[in-house]
Amino acid sequence: MAKPNQDIPQGDSDEKLDQLKAFQEAAGDQALTTNQGLPLNDDTDSLKAGRRGPTLLEDFHLREKITHFDHERIAERIVHARGSAAHGFFQVYESMASDTKAGFLQDPTRKTPVFVRFSTVAGSRGSSDLARDARGFAVKFYTEEGNYDLVGNNIPVFFIQDAIKFPDLIHAVKPEPNNEMPQAASAHDTFWDFISLMPESMHMIMWVMSDRAIPRSYRMMEGFGVHTFRFVNEAGRSQFVKFHWKPLLGVHSVVWDEAKKISGNDPDFHRRDLWEAIENGDFPEWELGVQLIDEADEHKFDFDLLDATKLIPEELVPVRRIGKMVLNRNPENFFAETEQVAFHPGHLVPGIDFSNDPLLQGRLFSYTDTQLIRLGGPNSHEIPINRAVAPVHNNQRDGHMRQTINTGSVSYQPNTIGGGCPFQAGKAMGGFASHPEAMESPKIRGKSDKFFDHFTQAALFFQSQSPPEQQHMVQALRFELGKVTRLAIRERMLVMLNQIDKDLASQVATGLGINVPAGVAGPLNLGFPADADPAAYQPTPAKPVKTLSPALSMANTPKDSIRTRKVAILAADGVDDASLQAMQQALKAAGAMGKIVAPHGGSLKSANGATVPIDHSLLTTSSVLFDAVFVPGGAASVATLGNEADARHFINEAFKHCKAIAAADEGVSLLAQAALKDVLPAIAAGPLKSEHGVVTGGRADSDGLAREFIEAIAQHRHWSRELKPQVPA
């Protein structure tokens, strides 16, 4: 008889099928049950009012499963434990009254306070900011109609379609239970075992394997509401809406080698970046965008609006930017604010409502349940960071950590003793009323047919990326799957990737040293209901990608500013004053920061004898913590740096990571000493040159060098270098 958690046997395809059946028959005494021992034939779909209807409270299995999951940990969040946050405000550009009656979207002169928390998903509170992971992007609006929470991610889709699979997803990606490894990483067997059996995850996998999963900064990443919601106006007209946050600094990332090194140099890199930007007055800004879809157009797409593994390409429905959010104040106390803030997708205001997205429907239950255990009871709304600015009147009483001292003898409604108060607001007073969506459907566990197309949008995303971005995805998949020890899992993943793009699968297979299998034993999804026909649960083949979506590629993000970028200026005693000062002034005028990095701390003496404060020593910092590198002139300074292995490595590493590099006068010789001469033979002192983001020659106090360098930094990265022979770094 099969033992619990025994691996599925491996072998040839036909043999695997026979062994799989035998394995499942032998495991008959392990049939899936509830905690009460009730055998279950469907652990895949929540109970709904029709295939596209809302999830029913009656679903005892969903509630039991998620309740147990929500209460598995105490103190820190089960997911999104590692986070940073800031205060700010939101201001709409013009009244949205024709689309929604939400009060904070009506008056362009009104500034609505917000508190925003960014986070990684999988790691613990002590993990690195630079893990390859989705990032949480949660915004709490303190409106005059109550708190509204837009709880999203920096990726517009999700791994699963139904909340009933959420505990399984997180159990798979978390450290393996037998050894508690690896931390904040998906590169291990249990995660890819789950993914290889869940084809609905493949679109999200493309995003997580892209550079989107290793952002340069919280300030330089997009945010998405993920789900389809509703806007409802005063007349009761409903439209579907997708929410977007567009950073005004553009969308930028780091490369994987850089991310690993940042984790060692400064695991608080994103947290520090956000804090310092706000302290310096460089307030992060995003525009709120919406995609609006008339109810009459709900079914016009090839995908289902209720499917959280799908997005609406911006080329089909443009994003309308309706307002701006500015973060201008850091928290006073990390625990009291960042750690105790409680978000919930069910915190609504009149004019915004839900769709029947089954993942969203499950979240509406899960978030309240999670706060009960994490924050100690039903009164987490009274913690200052969670407290509404709107007056709160209801008959809820007592409970753990209650702060409100309610007076009088009435705690029920209706009543006459208390004058009928508090009374139901009604429409005239702006009371919330759910959109009266018509429903007449059978009670069923299932999903609509369009939910079974798992590969078309995954293919659209991959093929819409620029060649460097595609190559980074190949490298990410090679790294992740290269950490998987079981051959069968790697083979199943190659079969999945082959459904998306054959060249992608082939390149990943080459890196793994195996061939792309012609097929895989058993169904791609072992989670179909016990009594169902497995063929009915097979994903549909990807449709040919006819039109690419440029909006999906970071290559098309704005690159017209270097505001808040950090530039390392390598210098030592004898640095040329004019060269140093001119570049520092030019960078400051462009909104960037030039930081002196020297062989030692303290200060140095310039060629003219001036004292120059040092910001960092080569011992305490690294090129991965900067966006660009400049080497000013000064023969003595360059000679000292040339004898420092760390200085040469600093330049080589910045070159490897495709960052802008500039050198003036004698500083050009340091680039040659650092090994750049081997890959860029044109490097030489003399006339101004700019090649692959390396700007050399001339004097820094001339307009040309600084201008060319600033333009190179604005491009963020110069991916053409990846085609060059690699420098040692």
Nearest Cα residue to 108 out of 97, 98, 93, 96 = 93
Q: Is 544 exposed, middle or buried (0-12, 13-18, 19+ CB in 10 A)?
A: exposed
Query: What is the spatial distance between Cα 152 and Cα 80, in angstroms, rounded to a whole number?
Result: 11
Nearest Cα residue to 713 out of 658, 634, 638 = 658
Pairing of strands 83-92, 238-247: unpaired
User: Would you state the structure tokens that stand for residue 214, as one six-digit string?
Assistant: 């290793």
Q: What are the residues facing 287 on neighbouring strands?
A: 246, 324
Active-site entry in 87, 147, 153, 716: 153
Backbone phi, psi, residue 17, to 5°: -60, -45
Q: What are the residues facing 694 on neighbouring strands?
A: 661, 691
Query: What is the spatial distance between Cα 712 and Cα 487, in angstroms, rounded to a whole number?
Result: 44
Query: What is the spatial distance between Cα 79 and Cα 88, in angstroms, rounded to a whole number?
Result: 24
Contact of 595 with 626, CB cutoff 8 Å: yes
* Angle, CA of 672, 675 and 678, to the nearest 5°: 90
Query: What is the spatial distance between Cα 564 and Cα 316, in angstroms, rounded to a whole number?
Result: 34
3-state class of 6 per DSSP? coil
Query: What is the spatial distance between Cα 684 and Cα 565, in angstroms, rounded to a whole number?
Result: 27
Q: Is 494 exposed, middle or buried (0-12, 13-18, 19+ CB in 10 A)?
A: buried
Is the Cα torsion angle 202, 203, 204, 210 positive or negative in sign? positive
Active-site entry in 80, 87, 244, 718: 80
Q: What are the residues facing 151 on neighbouring strands?
A: 138
Which helix (DSSP H) or strand (DSSP E) does residue 367 occupy?
helix 358-374
Active site residue 80: yes
Residue with tokens 């060629």: 607
The secondary structure of 57-107 as a DSSP string is: TT-HHHHHHHHHHHTS--SS-SSS-SEEEEEEEEEESS--TTT---GGGT-
Query: Strand ranges (DSSP E) for 79-182?
Result: 83-92, 112-120, 135-143, 146-153
Total residues found in the chain within this entry: 729
Which helix (DSSP H) or strand (DSSP E) does residue 360 occupy?
helix 358-374
CB burial string 407-439: b at 16+ within 10 A, e below: eeebeeeeeeebeeeeeeeeeeebeeeeeeeee
The catalytic site residues sit at 80, 153
